[in-house]
Amino acid sequence: MTQLGATLDALLGSVATTEARLAVTVGILLVTVAVGWLLLPRLVRAGERVAADWLDRFLDGRGEQSIETLQDAVPVSFGLRILVGLLQLALFALATVAILSLWGQFSLVVAVLPVAENIFAVGTRAIFSVVLLGGAYVASDVLAEYVSDLSDDSDRITAHQEQLLTRIMQVGLLVIAGITILGIWGVNLGGLLVGAGFLGIVLGMAARQTLGSLIAGFVLMFSRPFEIGDWVEIGDEEGFVTDITIMNTHMRNFDGEYVVVPNDLVSQQAITNRSREGRLRIHMEVGIGYDDDPAEASEIAEEVLTGIDTIANNPSPYVIPSGFGDSSILLDLRFWIDPPTPQARWRSKATAVEEIQRRFVEADISIPYPQRTVSFPPETAAGDETVERVERFDKSDDRSPDVTGRGE
């Protein structure tokens, strides 16, 4: 700005006559009005159209939601008016400097110039900061849509990984934008980083469990023991996974309850994924009487299992005698359901119980109740009988005959 003022003073200081100065002053004012109020608005609008077309081609339809949000917050017309006003103000200031230099008042320009430079620097920093924040906001939305498109094109990226990648990239982008803005305003980043380091140590000690859940969330993202929609059993909790965040795993159990399990607890417990293989084997037991034929009962049970719609035929269900129970011979029933769902498991087991019981009744095959046989040694039985006789004699009528034979 100082060099520009000196250059204008050198160019316009040679105009000596008053008539010439008046003519040059009128010319400067006419040029300022023509450029500032006629040419600048058209140039700004033309530049806005060119920039919008280039931005649409560059983004290729991404980031529309964030762009609409920014337009709702700061309409395009309002932004253009501000831009035109700033350019007109700058042009008016330049014309003022030229006129003052023309009339030999350059010392006044030198006195006011530091204040103008400070205002210009602050305004420029503010404009760059706002533009950078708006660009980071749009870029975060573009990154989210880009990761979503990449996840749709690849089967190896799960919804959990997509969410984590999106959050990491968005946070990294905002951190870079924040550091850049602080650098624009001259903030000492060294001291800020040292303070952030101490703060991180304190927060790490105070929130060890939270950090553990955070790290476990990243481990789950890469190990992928389950995905959203899987039927899993984590410790004592069983249900369908509804959401996986960096901190928690959300489930819906079979009672309709909403269960949230911290990721650090998930990583420390056994995980049973019943949906991973696409099928599930069901194990049941039924007992038949010792007088019944195990081969016939096994054949009937296999026929029943094969005829149930919810039971898969490949691999085929099978029934084998598995052991001797207290009251029955045990038959082990094993069959598969495909796809594995709680409804299919409950329905297949209920149907199997009903049909097997009906077919066993038709074939005169018993399903015995639990039985117990109690026996006593012979001397114990004789002692019990003697005690029982003495008790009956003691409880008889008091007017019994005199054992000595003497009357009253």
| Element (DSSP H or E) covering residue 324 | strand 318-324
pLDDT per residue rounded down to tens, the chain (408 residues): 455 555 655 555 555 567 676 777 777 778 777 777 777 777 777 776 776 677 666 666 555 666 666 555 555 566 666 766 777 777 777 777 776 666 666 666 666 666 666 777 777 788 788 878 877 877 777 777 777 777 776 666 666 667 777 777 778 888 888 888 887 777 776 666 666 666 666 665 555 566 667 777 777 777 778 888 888 998 888 899 988 877 888 999 888 889 998 888 888 888 888 888 888 889 999 999 998 999 999 999 999 999 998 888 888 898 999 999 888 999 999 999 988 888 888 899 999 999 999 999 999 998 888 766 677 666 655 555 554 554 554 544 444 444 333 333
pTM beyond cutoff 0.85? no
Query: Rounded to whole angstroms, what are the CA distances from 273 to 164, 228, 253?
Result: 22, 11, 14
Look up residue 44 and give its two tokens. Answer: 């700004």
C-alpha torsion sign, points 142, 146, 147, 149 = positive
Look up residue 78 and give its two tokens. Answer: 């309002």
List the one residue out of 209, 251, 210, 215 whose CA is nearest residue 231.
251
Question: Residue 256 contacts by C-beta under 8 Å, 6 or more apart in sequence?
Answer: none
